[in-house]
Amino acid sequence: MTTTAGGTRRLARVVSAGVVGTTVEFYDFFLYGAAAATVFGPVFFPHSDGLLGVLLALVTYAVGFAARPLGGLVFGHFGDRVGRKRLLVISLLLMGSASVLIGVLPGYQQIGIAAPLLLTLLRLVQGFALGGEFGGAVLLVAEHGPRERRGFWTSWPQTGGPLGNLLATAALAAMAASTTGAQYSAWGWRIPFLASIVLVVIGLWVRLRVAESPLFQAVAEEHREERTPVLEALAQYPRAVFAVFAARVGENAAFYVFTIFLLVYAGNIGLPTALTTTAVTVGSLVQALSMLAGGALSDRLGRRPVAITAAIGCALWTMIFFPLVGSQDPALVFLAVSVGLLLHGTLTGAQSAFYAELFRTSVRYSGVSLGYQAATVVAGAAAPLIGAALLRATHSAMPVAIMLICCLGLTVLGMSIVTETARRELAS
């Protein structure tokens, strides 16, 4: 338990490293998603019609999610074998390098079919890197922090998601507002990708200064590392791995429907890109604050009741979300996005410590990463992709709403099949 002044400073440093690092990585990852929904179609798939071009661009976006379970397996294995800290540094370097290369990648008009192929390869690198991020960042905080406030402290790295999304959408919105349409399509969208190099340098500086997890160090000193932690996690904690997977599905799908798919839907009904990106930017601030609130509430009330209530609220709001956006009233669009992301943030904050508390130290990185990243293939990749396909086929958002409600039902199931974890000491 971190109670001394020195321990408090170490915890603050670890939390800062988690927030900064995840913000940088999610900035890069979401920047791609926002660009795929708005500009990658004409740049890399110029011979496809409007919505089909967006759909093809979202296929490359979804490919990144396919690489995330592999990244989770690799980073989880070595994170449980050699430590959390050094793997987090590697993931940050990989993500930043891929983003900068996307920023200088020629389009289809310059290098033909090589352009979308290289774009897909770089997206795979992004997905692989992000696959190891959550497990390491949140677990490092969980393994440093005090039990009674673990939910609150572990929710801080989660804010890197909305903060990264905020920076990504804000950067694209700023470039769209300061350039003409032709300039933005030609080179304006590249500037935010190139700017990620500055964020990566800051993230590395912060992460290199943190201490390794004391729980992992204790395991290493006693030579209790597992030879194959992924297999051990599956053999000893099958229910926990499934609980992580199921709980993550609805949360992940909700986020991408309320942000990435929103941009596709809004463009299809004629809403200005500047309006929707600004709504997501404002909603991301609300989301970040609600994550901290969800984590704090989970310390008081338990992980399960807070998460299940938020998931049900999210499902109910889904039925209101698309009619509000479809009204094309700016105030109602802002309301739709802000409330959706508030509910999502509360759900995410309540789940942060829950995942870590399900496993012992020697397999924790692997167990969490396996379930967590497998869910991103089902939800994070499928939600915007299937959503765009359903929208193109039916010209209605209702099938997307039904899909999201089903995913949130899985979240309720995942949170329900294991016992409450809020009062547990982390098993070594």
| pLDDT tens digits, one per residue of 224-257 | 767 788 899 999 999 999 999 999 999 999 988 8
**Is residue 223's pLDDT more than 80?**
no
Task: Please indicate whether residue 323 or residue 30 has the higher confidence score (pLDDT).
Answer: 323
pLDDT at 423 over 90: no
| CA separation for the pair 40, 99 (Å, rounded) | 14
Tokens of 413: 């199931």
* DSSP, res 211: P
Which candidate, 156, 204, 162, places its Cα nearest to that of 11? 156
In this predicted structure, the answer to whether residue 53 has a pLDDT above a threshold of 70 is no
289-300: buried (b, 16+ CB within 10 Å) or exposed (e) per residue?
bbbbbbbbbbbe
The token pair at 254 is: 């909700």
Nearest Cα residue to 37 out of 193, 323, 268: 268
CA 119 vs. chain centroid, Å, equals 20
424 vs 246: CA distance, rounded Å: 21
Q: What is the pLDDT of residue 2?
A: 46
Mean pLDDT for all residues in the chain: 86
Contact call for residues 80 and 370 (beta carbons, < 8 A):
no
Confidence at 50, pLDDT banded by 50, 70, 90:
low
CA quadruple 219, 239, 353, 79: dihedral positive or negative?
positive
What pLDDT does residue 6 have?
58
300/294 Cα distance (integer angstroms): 10
What whole-number percentage of the chain has pLDDT above 70? 93
Mean pLDDT of 270-282: 85
Single pTM value for the model: 0.84
* Helices and strands (H, E) in the chain, number of each type: 21, 0
pLDDT attached to residue 182: 81
pLDDT bin (cut points 50, 70, 90) of residue 55 is low
Q: Is the pLDDT of residue 21 over 70?
A: yes
How distant, in Å, are the alpha carbons of 60, 269, 320, 401 from that of 391?
18, 11, 17, 11
The secondary structure of residue 367, as a DSSP letter, is H
Q: Are 280 and 337 a contacting pair, CB within 8 Å? A: yes
Instruction: Kindly report, residue by residue over 362-401, the tens digit of the pLDDT.
Output: 899 899 988 988 888 778 667 667 777 887 788 888 888 8
User: Residue with structure tokens 């904690």?
Assistant: 237
Q: Do the beta carbons of residue 383 and residue 324 sit within 8 Å?
A: no
Find the range with the poorest average confidence among 42-46, 213-217, 295-299: 42-46
User: Is 129 a residue whose pLDDT tops 90?
Assistant: no
